[in-house]
């Protein structure tokens, strides 16, 4: 597994899509700033994604394969954007390794390669963003 904070490490299509997603997050953070609860950011982020014409599912239950059985609704990523990028939102003092592990697990289980972990509590949003891939 590899984590990266550089868009240049991603294929062009992923760079473009993650750039649009981050643009939506930046717009929300500029408007609201840090200090709200995660669900408030999630509602505004969903509004921004829709305004930018990005297809997304929010808190959609996803299944996993476990011991040869399909387990329905085993996890619910905050956002699945364009069927390609898992986005996990946080509003915490600082991102912890457990938050990164959560996103990496979602990526592995969903078999998607790119994820964004976004912490809206950061005074400068760029310091609260982790781009990850598996």
User: Please, is 116 exposed, middle or buried when counting C-beta atoms within 10 Å of its C-beta (0-12, 13-18, 19+)?
Assistant: buried
The parent domain of residue 27 ranges over: 2-6+15-133
Q: How many domains does the chain have?
A: 1
- pLDDT band of 111, cuts 50, 70, 90: confident
pLDDT in tens, 62-81: 888 889 999 998 889 999 99
Give residue-wise pLDDT tens across range 12-46: 778 899 999 999 999 999 999 999 999 999 999 99
Q: What is the pLDDT, as a whole number, of residue 9?
A: 66
Query: First-to-last CA distance in the chain?
Result: 5
Other beta carbons less than 10 A from residue 76's beta carbon? 13
Q: Which residues contact 131 (CB under 8 A, 6 or more apart)?
A: 3, 4, 5, 6, 7, 10, 18, 114, 115, 116
Grouping H, G, I as helix, E, B as strand and the rest as coil, residue 92 is coil
Token pair in block for residue 103: 């996103």
Which pTM value belongs to this model?
0.89
Q: How far apart are CA 101 and CA 118, in angstroms?
A: 14
């Amino acid at each position: 597994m590899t984590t990266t904070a550089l868009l240049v490490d991603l294929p062009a299509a992923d760079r473009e899509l993650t750039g649009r997603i981050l643009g939506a997050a930046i717009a929300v953070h500029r408007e609201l700033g840090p200090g709200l609860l995660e669900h408030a950011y999630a509602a505004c982020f969903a509004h921004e994604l829709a305004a930018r014409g990005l297809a997304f599912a929010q808190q959609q239950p996803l299944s996993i394969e476990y011991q040869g059985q399909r387990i329905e609704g085993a996890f619910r990523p905050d956002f699945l954007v364009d069927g390609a990028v898992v986005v996990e939102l946080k509003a915490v003092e600082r991102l912890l390794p457990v938050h990164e592990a959560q996103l990496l697990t979602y990526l592995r289980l969903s078999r998607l390669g790119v994820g964004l972990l976004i912490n809206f509590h950061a005074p400068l949003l760029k310091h609260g963003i982790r781009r990850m891939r598996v």
